[in-house]
Amino acid sequence: MAQEFSVVGKRLPRIDAKAKAIGATTYTVDLQVPRMLIGKVLHSPYPHAKIKKINKTRAEQLPGVVAVITFEDVPKVPFTMTTDDKMLRNPDAIKSLTLDQLVLNDKARFVGDPVAAVAAIDEGTAEQAIDLIEVEYEQLPAVFDAVEAMKPGAPQIHDAAKNNIASHFVYPFAQGNVEKGFAEADLVLEETFSVSKQHPCQMEPTGCVVDFDADGNLTIWSPTQEAFLLRDKMADIYGIPTGKVRYLTQFAGGSFGGRGVSLTLEPITAALSKKAGRPVKTVYTREEDLFALETRTPFIQTGKIGFKKDGTITAMETRAIANSGAYITHSPAVTSVNLGLFFGLYKCPNTSGYCDIVYTNIPISGGIRGYGNPQAMWVLEQMMDMAAEKLGIDPIEIRLKNLRETGDPCWVPFIPIEGWQPKKCIEKGCEMFGWKEKSAANKGEGIKRRGIGIATVSHVSGAFPMLSEHTNAYIKLNEDGSADLIASCVEMGQGLLTTLCQIAAEELGLRLEDIRIFNGDTSVTGYDVGQHASRSIHGTGEAVRRAAAEARKQLLERAAKMLGVSSDGLQVKDRWISLKDDGKKGISVAEVCNNAIHNLEGECLNISGRCSFEAGQSPIFQAVLAEVEVDLETGVVKPLKLIMVHDIGRAINPLIVEGQLEGGAVQSLGYALSEDFIVNKNNGVLESDNFTSYKVQSAPDVPEIEVSLVEDPVESGPFGAKSVGESATVGVPAAIGNAVYNAIGVRIKDLPITPEKVLKALKEKEQKA
């Protein structure tokens, strides 16, 4: 029997929409804190250089300048933002991580590496002061390519990393024997693919306000996704107790992983604030943002897969090189996700893989939306099509034959998959897309050729059991029957606040407008590992539901006393508490709350609930179908149609889930077709340092996108919900790649699929023919 919901499952408008639409939402860049100064950063013009001398006297003497800092003014505490499986579950293990960054260093490792910073009374003065800092550099040879960097004799970027290999990561859940598996195969494919760096390109540029006050309290306004983790990190760097650090942010103007999961400007701004004795705000320009923020990690990744004649996979292997850039942030964890999900989609008895994480003199690479999964599926889902072609099997069929199913282990071998619907998703997608008809249709004869492609996707709901899934929520009811929800999270555009409020409203029998959420304050909210790994609804959402359930229990108990009945017999729905068998007789939630707060009867009570718990894991499945048109003369690939069918568990708000899928698809189209992070091969300068040269998708670029949800509620999430956040960024490039091949018979193995690459491949094909 279907559960009846009042708020959950409804296509309700977002609670933060109106304020955002009229420009009234306060973002970090809007903040004005009393006594605040403006900070600016001086960046290295060289990709690799020793800083021999810095003369800051002229800058310091400029009227209006309050503090100038160099590596001599900052703590000598190395740090990293790498999160790995040990970090949270055993904080001592952080000692074994690559602690390769300092707040400011006496060596620059990429063009843009911070060298010095100033705090002044206004932006103009700060900019002027930056120009007055005199730096004497000793230039060092640099290397930008990961393969080159690994060769003996390449410039050494960090002393501790021999051949610039920061880490050799081996897939920990390897099974069986790949050699044996490949020997049993009728077809063994081995192919190498690569991907560019993708920048998150969030609308609000990186910035923060930091107040390192006279009492040693460090207050940080920064649109971070992982406030509690960064809080610990800042406490470590500055040698103060964790409890002294307070991270504050309700809204981030977009984040997509790149901005919010690492320390960028906070440590430098804290040093400025400490020296100045005043709060400091530092905001990067778009140009600075493009080289300063971590991007999606570029991989060169080889897949090797063995198949039986009927398409059954016998063995899978992958070997990758990840270009981490000048420092290690998220690339190791990205690698772990890449390998995990490479092997997490299809059943396979023999698996093995590794990845070398390599330093180069380019800007930092880390993890953004989708983490290592888009890179993995770019390889795997094109190889599935290649195998299907070679084996003469339909691409849908070869996938259905090998896909994991409910009850199989998920990408973590000891956790079974809950309610997966791969067959339903694929079938629905094919039907919406007209797969059969389009498969049979003519590809075109003239300059413009059409093609179709599919990719399937699995993705996580949270990082359990690799990282902790600890989260907290607290809710209290006001005397008018409304509720204040205090949750540890940031709204970065994903609709999280609305969704959490819907969960609370449903559980409390209230309306959406009765719930107000207060978020983004580490001192007031309970611990939470952050907004990453598509975990927020599945994890924090369930904490909110449980906290609301506790408050509901108190509410019904109080109502039961007032009505002189047992609380077991009561229900609450649409602000009204009544007997389950007589919905009319009862009392309003407002009356009970008012009574409880104003002690009109019995003892005073501010009805409230809290939850502190750790969520589990429950992967999603998604089918992506793409149709493209390729211009043989220009090489331009024009996407015509994109279909996504997503296995959500339960859509708390279908409008928001669909929005996440559509937004992710657009971001993913940029990754597939246009976003190219170009570092000059001679001097290391970022050439794509604005939105003209770094081309994100805009409205006219975007094809018809249709999304559809398949609901099969799971036990672990609130009202059965799984995740959606990152998933749409995963499968699109491979589906487009397959469609391009289907259209013109050439396979582009390097992202983005630019016109130049298409033309080059067509030319090579022609030459071969």
**In the window 576-595, what residues touch a copy of itself (CB under 8 A)?**
594
Residue from 156, 302, 608, 708 in contact with a copy of itself (CB under 8 A): 608
Q: Which is nearer to a copy of itself, 166 or 237 (CB)?
A: 237
Rounded to a whole number of angstroms, the minimum distance from the CB of residue 439 to a copy of itself is 49
Beta carbons of 298 and 196 less than 8 angstroms apart: yes
Give min distance, CB of 217 to a copy of itself, in A. Answer: 7
Cα angle vertex 589, ends 490, 538, to 5°? 30
* CA 727 centroid distance within chain: 10
Say if strands 582-588 and 576-579 run parallel, antiparallel, or are unpaired. antiparallel
Q: Which is nearer to a copy of itself, 28 or 323 (CB)?
A: 28
Question: Applying CB under 8 A, which of residues 73, 184, 186, 213 lies at the interface with a copy of itself?
Answer: 213
Among 302, 439, 588, 612, binds a copy of itself (CB under 8 A): 612
Binds a copy of itself (CB under 8 A): choice among 5, 11, 19, 134: 19
Is the Cα dihedral 518, 521, 524, 529 positive or negative? positive
Amino acid at 567: S
Whose CA is closest to 725, among 396, 490, 405, 422? 490
Which one, 15 or 220, has the nearer CB to a copy of itself? 15
The residue within the footprint of a copy of itself, chosen from 242, 566, 680, 690 (CB under 8 A), is 242
Distance separating alpha carbons of residues 540 and 500, to the nearest angstrom? 8
At its nearest, how many Å lie between a copy of itself and the CB of residue 521? 8
Q: Which is nearer to a copy of itself, 433 or 474 (CB)?
A: 474
Cα separations (Å) of 468 from 324, 520, 610? 24, 19, 19
Is 277 exposed, middle or buried (CB count within 10 Å of its CB: 0-12, 13-18, 19+)? middle
Residue 159 makes contact with a copy of itself by CB under 8 A: no
470 is a site residue for a copy of itself (CB under 8 A): yes
660 lies in the binding site for a copy of itself (CB under 8 A): no
Which residues are within 8 A (CB) of 7 and not within 5 positions of it... i.e. 6 or more apart? 502, 505, 506, 510, 511, 512
- Residue from 604, 472, 452, 615 nearest 539 by CA: 615
How far apart CA 676 and CA 673 sit, in angstroms, is: 9
Tokens 């952080």 belong to 94
141 or 243: CB nearest a copy of itself = 243
Residues 6+ apart with CB under 8 A from 84: 93, 97, 332, 333, 336, 466
* 3 state SS of 247: strand
Provide the b/e sequence for 58-68 (b: ≥16 CB within 10 Å): ebeebeebbbb
Minimum CB separation of residue 101 from a copy of itself in Å reads 22
Among 144, 238, 346, 474, binds a copy of itself (CB under 8 A): 474
Q: Which of residues 78-107 bind a copy of itself (CB under 8 A)?
A: 88-91
At closest approach, how far in Å is the CB of 307 from a copy of itself? 41
326 sits near a copy of itself (criterion: CB under 8 A):
no
Stretch that binds a copy of itself, among 1-9, 467-475, 617-625, 731-739 (CB under 8 A): 467-475
Name residues contacting a copy of itself, limited to 243-272 (CB under 8 A).
243-244
Rule CB under 8 A: say whether 31 interacts with a copy of itself: yes
Nearer to a copy of itself, 582 or 603 (CB): 603
The single residue among 35, 52, 151, 309 that binds a copy of itself, judged by CB under 8 A, is: 35
**461 backbone dihedrals φ, ψ, rounded to 5°:** -115, 85
Considering only the stretches 26-34, 317-325, 396-404, 419-427, report the one whose residues sit in contact with a copy of itself under the rule CB under 8 A: 26-34
Cβ closest to a copy of itself, residue 16 vs residue 418: 16
- What does the buried/exposed string (b/e) look like for 210-232 if buried means 16 or more CB atoms within 10 Å of the residue's CB? bbbeeeeebbbbbbbbbbbbbbb
Q: What tokens appear for 40 in the block?
A: 């600016």
Evaluate whether 97 touches 14 at the Cβ level (below 8 Å).
no
Amino acid at 140: L
Q: Tokens 């819907």 label which residue?
A: 502
232 near a copy of itself, judged by CB under 8 A = yes
Task: Choose among 301, 302, 310, 304: nearest CA to 402.
Answer: 310
Options 33, 412, 579, 696; binder of a copy of itself; rule CB under 8 A? 33
Q: How far is the CB of 587 from a copy of itself (least distance, A)?
A: 16
Q: Would you count residue 13 as binding a copy of itself (CB under 8 A)?
A: no
Closest separation between CB of residue 279 and a copy of itself, Å?
9
Question: Is the Cβ of residue 159 or residue 215 nearer to a copy of itself in the bound state?
Answer: 215
Footprint of a copy of itself on 516-535 (CB under 8 A): 516, 518, 521, 523-524, 526-527
Nearer to a copy of itself, 474 or 677 (CB): 474
Distance, CA of 143 to CA of 148 (rounded, Å): 7
| Among 97, 486, 730, 761, contact with a copy of itself (rule: CB under 8 A) | 486
Do residues 420 and 623 touch, judged by C-beta distance below 8 A?
no
What are the CA-CA distances from residue 150 to residues 197, 359, 638 (Å)?
Answer: 19, 9, 37
From the list 514-522, 621-629, 653-661, 725-733, the region that binds a copy of itself by CB under 8 A is 514-522
Binding mask 539-578 for a copy of itself (x = CB under 8 A): ----------------------------------------
DSSP summary character for residue 539: I
Closer of 32 and 767 to a copy of itself (Cβ): 32
The span from the CA of 204 to the CA of 223, in Å, is 9
CB of 614 vs a copy of itself, minimal distance in Å: 4
Where does this chain bind a copy of itself (CB under 8 A)? Answer: 15, 18-19, 22, 24, 26, 30-35, 88-91, 213-215, 217, 232, 235, 241-244, 468-470, 472, 474, 476, 478-480, 482-484, 486, 514, 516, 518, 521, 523-524, 526-527, 594, 597-600, 603-606, 608, 610, 612-614
